[in-house]
């Protein structure tokens, strides 16, 4: 029998803080009553700084990040439109598959899983698009499968450098609320998030922020949509409600989670995520392991994907952690299955939790036959957390 606290070190859903959990224990309420707006409006207002926007309108879509992916496409584009996207991990691959399934003409730039969005190549393709056929560029800000963060601001520069007016769609599902996201400054037109990662809530809401340009594009978009009708949802939000029965408990939770984020201060939240990630990366390097991220410069502050040594099946490491130590790590996705496991370090997390993650990873790796020195990872992370060391270069 497993005893004690189950440790959740997957990159979402993340730990829901106790006060957020308590905030959701409320009686059912009338979502058509005028006072429902008093719950919804602070949530929408509290999300805006987290998305780095004053200009965008935000819609809460019952569903998850995937629903917001779909809504971004079907509310602004038309079948046959050309879109440009990099494929460098499971989530960028899935978004590309969805775009194809919705009838878009998807120009894909394939790069290594472990590399970020190749901005120079994006710029080259935009520059070559003499007739302005590319209607949107899709970027996965934080590729959760590989632990790689891409430079969205640089993609905006690429668009501007080519005087290209394609829309910029960004998946911020595992970045928004944990690392800086500057929707207005980066000229992002559609930003996608979900409730269950940096926002520390249960899954159940896809969150979509639409810029004025995206809202204008809605006028000329005629793709079939019904449940995920952004115009209808924004109009309902304006009136303080939803188009249909909303997950009210989740809104109470989100309001409490946003209060937490703003009380800590977004800058402090981002700094904490960076510090914790540096500790985890130092621990991984001290164990002699490589990350999937090919360079520390774009290693994610929310999730680290770790390659297991040759001959060690990452699935076994994950299974040992789960069955012996009541601890959950993320699996390797797609071609990384069996080759990598992931430590999620986002949301409501502190140093002690990261040390636990590294300690259990050491025990599980050793039990799976990997030649790791027990304590080496924890010690390296402690030196980072004590402010005594810089994170060493990652071995790749
Ligand atoms: N995009 C990224 C980067 C993700 O990490 C995920 C889920 O982990 C998704 C999209 C899909 O989101 P959801 O599982 O909330 O539908």
Q: What is the pLDDT of residues 279-325, one digit of tens each?
A: 999 999 999 999 999 999 999 999 999 999 999 999 999 999 999 99
ipTM for the complex shown: 0.99
Q: Is 342 assigned a ligand-binding role in the annotation? A: yes
Look at residue 185 and tell me whether its pLDDT is greater than 70: yes
CA of 172 to the centre of ligand 1 (A): 9
Residue owning the nearest CA to atom 14 of ligand 1: 65
Residue owning the nearest CA to atom 4 of ligand 1: 173
* Backbone phi and psi for residue 59, each to the nearest 5 degrees, phi listed first: -120, 140
By the 8 A CB rule, do 66 and 204 touch?
A: no
- For residue 167 the two structure tokens come to 């829309």
Of 13, 306, 354, nearest to 147 by C-alpha is 306
Look at residue 214 and tell me whether its pLDDT is greater than 80: yes
Q: Tell me the pairing of strands 327-331 and 7-9.
A: parallel
Q: How far apart are CA 68 and CA 250, in angstroms?
A: 16
Query: Cβ < 6 Å from ligand 1: which residues?
Result: 12, 64-66, 91, 140, 142, 144, 171, 173-174, 194, 203
Give residue-wise pLDDT tens across range 244-266.
999 999 999 999 999 999 999 99
Share of the chain above pLDDT 70, in %: 98
Give residue-wise pLDDT tens across range 125-162.
999 999 999 999 999 999 999 999 999 999 999 999 99
The ligand 1 atom nearest the CA atom of 66: 16
Q: 374 vs 193, 242, 339, CA distance in Å?
A: 37, 52, 21
Q: Residue 394: what pLDDT?
A: 55
Average pLDDT along the chain:
97
Domains, the chain, in order of start with CATH, read: 18-262 (3.40.640.10), 265-385 (3.90.1150.10)
Q: 15 vs 20, 195, 328, 347, CA distance in Å?
A: 10, 12, 12, 7
């Amino acid at each position: 029998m497993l005893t004690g606290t189950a440790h959740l070190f997957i990159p979402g859903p993340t730990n829901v803080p106790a006060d957020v959990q308590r905030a959701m224990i409320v009686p059912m309420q009338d979502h058509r009553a005028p006072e429902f707006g008093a719950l919804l409006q602070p949530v929408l207002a509290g999300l805006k700084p987290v998305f780095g926007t004053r200009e965008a309108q935000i819609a809460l879509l019952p569903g998850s990040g995937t629903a917001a992916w779909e809504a971004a496409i079907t509310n602004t584009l038309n079948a046959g439109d050309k879109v440009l996207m990099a494929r460098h991990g499971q989530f960028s691959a899935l978004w590309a598959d969805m775009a194809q399934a919705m009838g878009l003409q998807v120009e894909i730039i394939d790069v290594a899983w472990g590399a970020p969005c190749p901005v120079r190549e994006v710029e080259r393709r935009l520059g070559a698009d003499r007739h302005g056929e590319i209607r949107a560029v899709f970027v996965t800000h934080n590729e959760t499968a590989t632990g790689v963060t891409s430079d969205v601001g640089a993609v905006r520069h690429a668009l501007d450098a080519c005087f290209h007016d394609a829309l910029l769609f960004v998946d911020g599902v595992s970045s928004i609320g944990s690392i800086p996201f500057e929707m207005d400054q980066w000229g992002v037109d559609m930003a996608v998030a979900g409730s269950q990662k940096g926002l520390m809530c249960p899954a159940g809401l896809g969150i979509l922020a639409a810029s004025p340009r995206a809202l204008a594009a809605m006028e000329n978009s005629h793709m079939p949509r019904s449940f995920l009708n952004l115009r209808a949802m924004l109009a309902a939000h304006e009136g303080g409600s939803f188009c249909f029965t909303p997950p009210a408990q989740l809104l109470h939770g989100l309001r409490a989670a946003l209060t937490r984020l703003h009380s800590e201060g977004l800058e402090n939240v981002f700094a904490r995520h960076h510090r914790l990630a540096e500790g985890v990366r130092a621990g991984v390097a001290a164990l002699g392991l490589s990350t999937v991220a090919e360079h520390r410069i774009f290693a994610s502050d929310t999730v680290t994907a770790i390659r297991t040594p040759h001959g060690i099946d990452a699935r076994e490491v994950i299974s040992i952690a789960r069955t012996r130590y009541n601890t959950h790590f993320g699996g390797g996705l797609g071609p990384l299955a069996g080759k990598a496991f992931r430590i999620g370090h986002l949301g409501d997390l502190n140093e002690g939790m990261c040390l636990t993650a590294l300690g259990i990873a050491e025990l599980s790796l050793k039990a799976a036959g990997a030649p790791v020195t027990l304590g080496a990872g924890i010690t390296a992370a402690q030196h980072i957390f004590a402010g005594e060391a810089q994170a060493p270069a990652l071995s790749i």
